Amino acid sequence: MLSHCANSECARPFLRLRQGKLFLVEKECGVPSGESTPPCLPQKQPPRRVERYWLCDECAKVWTLVHDRHQGIVLVPLPPPPASARPAMGHVCRETA
Ligand SMILES: [Zn+2]
C-alpha cells in the first residue's frame, strides 16, 4: 500500500518521505460490502483506521487522492492552477470604435 506510488500507471517505489506526497485516509468503521471477514474474528481494531497512500513527486504535481465511499481510494486530477498563475485569458474583446 505504501511501497509504491498510488498511481498504478507509475508505481514508482517509495523511497523517502521527503519526496512526493503522503495521504492519510481515515476510513469509516464498518466493513465495506464485498469484503468478507470471518464472523469469529475478535473486534480488537479501533472503529476507524487510517490508511496511508503515497504519490511520488511527479504524480503529486498533477494528481491527488480522494476517498470515495463506494470506490475506495480514487486518483483524481488536481484542479488547474489559479488564474493568477496563468497568462490572462478572456475579456480580450475590446471595442476600438
Ligand atoms: Zn508516481
Q: Is residue 38 part of a domain?
A: no
The neighbouring-strand residues paired with 63 are 77
Q: Is residue 93 part of a domain?
A: yes
CA of 8 to the centre of ligand 1 (A): 8
Say what the pTM is.
0.60
Q: Is residue 39 part of a domain?
A: no
Provide the domain limits for residue 20: 1-32+45-97
CA of 68 to the centre of ligand 1 (A): 20
Q: Is residue 50 part of a domain?
A: yes
Q: Is residue 10 part of a domain?
A: yes
| Alpha-carbon span 29 to 16, nearest angstrom | 30
CB of 4 within 8 A of CB of 13?
Answer: yes
Q: Is residue 61 part of a domain?
A: yes
CA of 30 to the centre of ligand 1 (A): 30
CA of 67 to the centre of ligand 1 (A): 18
pLDDT digits (tens, 9 = 90+) for 44-74: 655 678 888 999 999 999 999 988 888 888 9
CA of 21 to the centre of ligand 1 (A): 10
User: What is the total count of domains within the chain?
Assistant: 1
For residue 82, pLDDT beyond 90 = no
Q: Is residue 19 part of a domain?
A: yes
Q: Is residue 94 part of a domain?
A: yes
Task: Report pLDDT for 1.
Answer: 54
